[in-house]
Amino acid sequence: MAMQRFLPTRFMTSRLWEMASPAQAQACDVFINHRGADTKRTVAGLLYDRLVHLNLRPFLDSMSMEPGDKLFPSLDWAIRNCKVGVAIFSPRYCESRFCLQELALLVEAKKKVIPIFCDVQPSELLKMNNISAAAPPEEVERFRRALEEARYTVGIVFDSQNGNWSDLLSEASDIIAKSLND
């Protein structure tokens, strides 16, 4: 049986996200924001592998962290210290407060965010915004602002049933490499 890394699934308060510890995180060029249940084994994982092959330093939680690393400080540090963010939007992306928190941090840190709309259209982002009723109103507003910004950022739209995966990975990695050189 293959070993899998455990990542906590409950959302932590934003205060925990602010306790960054650079010693626990590796430097990265690209932070890959994604809904793991939807895209970790497809777009996110394949893009990570492609970027590593290009000698870039992507951050993908399941690949960039080791047992014993502090999850939230490591994510916070990686987001604040990356050069470019890639947000992979999928049908269930907005159900995850993790995803929305990471996106909001990327936007608030004024990082260039390259959206990849996988099986969703940019116009659907705010419609599918099923943020938990338990989320405080100010947090919901932060998430809506970040989604609105992503919605109006030129990105890549991909249909996983009919699209060419190789073309997606080539286009995305070319855009990321160009963004890192700008």
Percent of the chain that is helix, strand, coil (3-state, to 5): 50, 15, 40
Q: What is residue 132's three-state secondary structure?
A: coil
User: Cα separation of 142 and 145, whole Å?
Assistant: 5
The per-residue b/e assignment along 9-48, b for 16 or more CB within 10 angstroms, e otherwise, is eebeebeebeebeeeebeebbbbbbbbbebbbebbbbbbb
Exactly one of 18, 66, 102, 139 is catalytic; name it.
Answer: 102
**Sheet with 156-158, edge to edge strand ranges:** 58-59, 30-34, 84-89, 112-118, 156-158
CA nearest to 59, candidates 94, 90, 33, 38:
33
Angle separating helix axes 45-53 and 165-181, nearest 10 degrees: 50
Residue type, 167: D
124 is catalytic: no
| Catalytic residue IDs | 102
